[in-house]
Structure 1
Amino acid sequence: MMLLTSGTRGDVEPFAALARYATAQGHRVRLGVPENSGVDLSGLDTVSLDVDFHRLMRTHGLSPWTAVRHFRSEVGPGMRRMFSAAVRETLAFDPDLVLHHPLILTAPAVADALGVPRALAEFVPVATPTREFPAPGGPTVATDLGRFNRTTYAVPRSGARLFRRDVERACRQLPGGRAPAPASASRATLMGISPQLLPRPADWPARVHLTGSWHDGAGVPAPDPAVTEFVRGGPCLVATFGSMSAGDPSALGRTLVDSARAHGLRTLVITGWGGLALPEGSRGDDVLVVPAAPLDAVLPDAALAVHHGGAGTVHTVARAGVPSVVVPFLVDQPFWGRQLHRLGVAAPPIPRRLLTAETLVPAVGDALARRERAQRVGRAVREEQGLRTALDVLGTL
Structure 2
Amino acid sequence: MKILLLTAGSRGDVEPFVALARSAEGRGHQVRLGIPDHSGVNTDGIDTVSLHMDFAQLIDDQGVSPRAAARTFRTVIRPAMGRLLFAAVQQIVTFAPDVVVYHPKILSAPVAANRVGIPSVIVETVPSVSRTREFPAPYITPVNLGPLNRATYLAAPLAALMFRSGLDAAFKELPPGPNRRGGQRVSMIPVSPQLLPRPHDWPPTVHLTGYWDGKPAPVGADAELEDFIDGGKFVYAGFGSMKAGDARERGEIVLEAARRCSLRVLVTTGWGGLDIPTTAHEDVLVRESVAHDHVLPHATAAIHHGGAGTVHAAARAGVPSIVVPFIGDQPFWGHLLHRRGLGPAPIPYRKLTADRLTDAIGKAGDCRHYAAQVGERVREEDGATAAVHVLENLAG
TM-score (norm 2): 0.95
**Residue 310 of structure 1, CA deviation:** 0.4
* Alignment pair present for 1:299 and 2:274: no
Indicate which of 233, 244, 247 corresponds to 2:245: 247
Amino acid paired to 1:356: T
Deviation at 1:280, TM superposition (A): 4.4
Partner of 2:93: 91
Residues 223, 294 of structure 1: 8 Å contact kept: no
Cα separation, 1, equivalents of 2:8 and 2:182: 21
Which residue of 1 is the match for residue 14 of structure 2? 12
Query: Partner residue of 1:367?
Result: 364
| Contact 1:19–1:31 (8 Å) recurs in 2 | yes
Q: Is the 8 A contact 2:325 2:346 kept in 1?
A: yes
The letter for the 2-side match of 1:279 is: P
Mapped to 2, the partners of 1:16 and 1:170 lie a distance apart of: 25
Helix, strand or coil at the partner of 2:149: helix
Distance 1:159 1:87 in 2: 18
Query: Does residue 137 of structure 1 match 2:134?
Result: no
SS of 2:322's partner is strand
Cα-to-partner distance string for 1:253-308 (whole Å, 9 max, x where unaligned): 11101111111110011011111111245x11100111111112111111111000
Distance 1:223 1:273 in 2: 23
CA distance in 1 between counterparts of 2:65 and 2:90 reads: 34
- 2:222 aligned with 1:191, yes or no? no
Mapped to 2, the partners of 1:308 and 1:375 lie a distance apart of 21
Give the TM-score taking structure 1 as reference length.
0.94
Contact 1:220/1:297, CA 8 A, preserved across alignment:
no
Q: Deviations over 1:157-192 (max 9, x none)?
A: 21221112211110101112x8x5697675311110
Q: Which whole-Å CA distance do the structure 2 matches of 1:218 and 1:259 have between them?
A: 31
SS in structure 2 of the partner of residue 300 of structure 1 = helix
Q: Would the aligned equivalents of 1:130 and 1:149 in 2 still touch at CA under 8 Å?
A: yes
Out of 267, 270, 281, which is 2:268 matched to?
270
> What is the match of residue 321 of structure 2?
324
For residues 70 and 390 of structure 1, do their structure 2 counterparts lie closer, same or farther at Cα, with a shift above 3 Å needed? Answer: same
Deviates more, 1:293-302 or 1:105-114: 105-114
Amino acid at match of 1:353: R
The 8 Å contact of residues 64 and 242 in structure 2, kept in 1 or not, is answered as no
Q: Return the alpha-carbon distance in structure 2 between the equivalents of residues 275 and 352 of structure 1.
A: 10
CA gap of 1:186–1:354, structure 2 versus 1, over 3 A, is farther
Contact 1:120 1:186 in 2 (8 A): no
**Deviations for 1:207-240, whole angstroms, at most 9, x for unmatched residues?**
0010000012244544633222212211011000
Q: Is the 8 A contact 1:109 1:183 kept in 2?
A: no
> In the alignment, which residue of structure 2 is the partner of 1:392?
389
Q: Which amino acid aligns with 1:164?
A: R
Structure 1 Cα separation of the partners of residues 219 and 5 of structure 2: 23
Q: Which amino acid aligns with 1:103?
A: K
Q: Where does residue 152 of structure 2 map in the other structure?
A: 152
The corresponding residue for 1:201 is: 199
1:347-386, aligned counterparts within 5 Å? Answer: 347-386=344-383
The one-letter amino acid of 2:304's match is H
Partners of 1:389 and 1:115 lie apart in 2 by 25
Q: Tell me if structure 1 keeps the 8 A contact 2:14–2:41.
A: yes
Structure 1 counterpart of 2:352, one-letter code? L
**Aligned partner of residue 395 in structure 1, secondary structure:** helix
- The answer to which of 309-318 and 104-113 deviates more is 104-113
CA contact (8 A) 2:185 2:205 kept: yes
Deviation by residue 1:99-130 (Cα, 9 ceiling, x = unmatched): 11111111112212321111111110111111
* Residue type of the alignment partner of 1:167: L
Give the aligned partner of residue 217 of structure 1.
Answer: 215
Write the letter of the residue equivalent to 1:332. Answer: D
Provide the C-alpha distance between the structure 2 equivalents of 1:142 and 1:389, rounded to a whole number of angstroms.
28
Return the alpha-carbon distance in structure 1 between the equivalents of residues 158 and 62 of structure 2. Answer: 21
Query: What is the match of residue 121 of structure 2?
Result: 119
- Aligned partners of 1:352 and 1:12: how far apart in 2? 24
Give me the identity figure in percent. 48
Which amino acid in structure 2 is aligned with residue 327 of structure 1?
V
238, 252, 256: which one aligns with 1:258: 256
1:34 has 2:36 as partner:
yes
Q: Which stretches in structure 1 are left out of the alignment for 5+ residues? A: none
CA distance in 1, matches of 2:270, 2:205: 37
* 1:308 has 2:310 as partner: no
2-side partners of 1:151 and 1:358: how far apart?
38
Which sits farther off after the overlay, 337-346 or 148-157?
A: 148-157
Q: Whole-Å Cα distance in 2 between the matches of residues 246 and 183 of structure 1?
A: 43
Q: Distance in 2 between matches of 1:146 and 1:332?
A: 19
Deviations 1:299-327 (A, max 9, x none): 11111110000011100110000112100
Across the aligned residues of Structure 1 and Structure 2, the Cα RMSD in angstroms comes to: 1.7
Deviates more, 1:312-321 or 1:229-238: 229-238
Change in CA separation of 1:191 and 1:252 when aligned onto 2, cut-off 3 Å: same
Counterpart contact for 1:329–1:351, Cα < 8 Å: yes
